[in-house]
Amino acid sequence: MVRDPKILLLAALGIFLMPPPVTAQDVDAPRPMYELPTITVSVLSEADPLYESASDLYQANDWKGAAELYRAAAEGMPANDANSYIPFDMSARLYFYAGEYGDSRGMMERAAEVAEATGDDVSAAYRHVDAAFIAIWEGFPGKRREHVAAAENYARSGGLDKPDTEKIWALIRGVDALPVAEDR
């Protein structure tokens, strides 16, 4: 076998002059770090004893009792839970059915606050419209105006989808069409 020194030299230079192999990740390069917010999610389920008890009371037409259990469930949920407005909403509706309009409006206001705090503008807008309806039943036109104004702000913000915006405006027109005693 012939060993030409020139060929061996060229082969050695070729090996040494080749670019280094590319790795999937350069170990020494700094990597961007992202920290995601911690969100705790707990949705009322059929396995939840409060939900089961509230459901039983609802079936028995004990709406106030069911509302109080939903209220307890809502107040026990983490404040940053995106779904925690749901039990406040259920509690408000059940208080309304029980004729407890003050408690109903209070719970609907809490539902709107939680939806706002978790960035759910659509749910917050709907909860404000519901709170305005409840305020009419309760006889507080000032609260009606307050919640209608909040819902209008969401509808004007441009942050809602067109169908939601149209529905919010339709509901606001419905609230405005109801007679209100201006004594409070």
Q: Is the pLDDT of residue 35 over 50?
A: no
Q: Are the beta carbons of 88 and 108 closer than 8 angstroms?
A: yes
Q: What is the mean pLDDT of residues 87-98?
A: 90
In a domain, 31, yes or no: no
Please indicate, yes or no, if residue 69 is contained in any of the structural domains: yes
Instruction: Reply yes or no on whether the pLDDT at 125 is more than 90.
Output: yes
- Cα of first residue to Cα of last residue in the chain, in angstroms, is 110
pLDDT band at 101 (very low <50, low <70, confident <90, very high): very high
pLDDT confidence bin for 122, thresholds 50/70/90: very high
Longest dimension (CA), the chain: 113
Question: 12-26, 53-67, 115-129: lowest mean pLDDT where?
Answer: 12-26
In a domain, 127, yes or no: yes
Angle at 97 between CA 96 and CA 102, to 5 degrees: 25
Q: Give the pLDDT mean for 21-49.
A: 49
Inform me whether the pLDDT recorded for 50 exceeds 80.
no
Model confidence at 85, pLDDT cuts 50, 70, 90, reads: confident
CB-based contacts of 14, cutoff 8 Å, min separation 6: none
In a domain, 166, yes or no: yes
Which amino acid makes up residue 98?
A
Domain that holds residue 166: 49-177
Cβ neighbour number for residue 42 with a 10 Å cutoff: 13
Res 41 pLDDT > 50 = no
For CA atoms 111, 112, 117, 123, give the dihedral sign: positive
Residue 32 domain flag: no
Q: How large is the average pLDDT for residues 33-43?
A: 44
Query: Quick check: is 149 in a domain?
Result: yes
| pTM passes above 0.75 | no
Q: Is residue 78 in some structural domain?
A: yes
Q: Is residue 132 part of a domain?
A: yes
Number of domains composing the chain: 1
Q: What is the CATH number of the domain that holds 163?
A: 1.25.40.10
Mean model confidence pLDDT for the chain: 76
